[in-house]
Amino acid sequence: MPPSLDASKYHNLLRSFLAEDVGAGDITTESTVPATQRARGELIAKAPLVLAGIDLFGEVFRLLDSATEVENCSRDGEELKPGKIPARVRASARALLTGERVALNLLQRLSGVATLTHQFVCAVVGTSAEILDTRKTTPGLRMLEKYAVRAGGGRNHRKDLSEAVLIKENHIRLAGGVSAALTAAQTAKDRAAWMEIEVTNLDELRAALAYNPDVILLDNMNPALVRQAVQQVRAHDPARKIRTEASGGITLANVREFAEAGVDWISVGALTHSAPAVDLSFEIEPA
């Protein structure tokens, strides 16, 4: 089943986006289009994509015109071909013109994240690896971008710093080493959904294994070294209670190599920090 999104929970965020774009008023639309004019708009996919955020698209126009009627012809998570019409909207012509850019920008951004995620997910089909996002999200859009990752078939990593302990390179350096960091982190164990530590070589891995963390993040290792690390983790933990995660330098071209190395998770910052916006257009006509 595709994920679902309650667009009403994001009214304040959408209003802030509209306020940023409209400013003191849409002087072009207000001077050229009568207030009583009604119009209809068709959303059109111009390239292959995976949809995410379709309910937010319609909600933008509802905030400008409570009488807006939206017909969603596609659902989030659906793969669309060029020419597909995922939604039709009937509303005040002024509402459609004023809200068009905000609605499109958001939909194109979220669908871009979903589309790139889907490409990574497809690249590892047949392996046991799952594709995860990171906290490398656009400020203010984290929960929506993480929703888009799910729409593309990926999974979410930490939603914020309070959810889990994730000891990274800088924590290790400041704490005085892998063992010192993991010893100190035990005080937070009861507050964390899981405990994870980043290692960059096999010596750090062996030090981490002594503490049996929930997840070991294999950072910036090549696939061959990842395979060795996974084998060492499995030898230490035959019950497979410790998950392994690969991250750093992972692209569509090499992600399958990492998946075939045996890791459980592959986290990809590019899903949210480098996903290109997809090509969608919104064509408006008099109703």
Residue 70: beta bridge partners? 89
Residue closest to 249 by CA, chosen among 278, 277, 270? 270
The CATH number for 183's domain is 3.20.20.70
Given a cut of 80, is residue 116 above it in pLDDT?
A: yes
The residue range of the domain holding 247 is 164-268
pLDDT band at 2, cuts 50/70/90? low
- pLDDT given for residue 4 in this prediction: 81
Question: Which residue is associated with the tokens 């589309």?
Answer: 115
- pLDDT given for residue 3 in this prediction: 76
152 inside domain: no
134 inside domain: no
Q: Are 40 and 275 in contact (CB under 8 A)?
A: no
Single pTM value for the model: 0.96
143 inside domain: no
Residues 51 and 92 in one domain: yes
139 inside domain: no
Could you list the active site residues?
Answer: 101, 136, 168, 198, 219
The CATH number for 16's domain is 3.90.1170.20
Specify the number of domains making up the chain. 2
Residues 238 and 183 in one domain: yes
DSSP 83-109: T---EEEEEEHHHHHHHHHHHHHHHHH
Residues 179 and 281 in one domain: no
Residues 247 and 279 in one domain: no
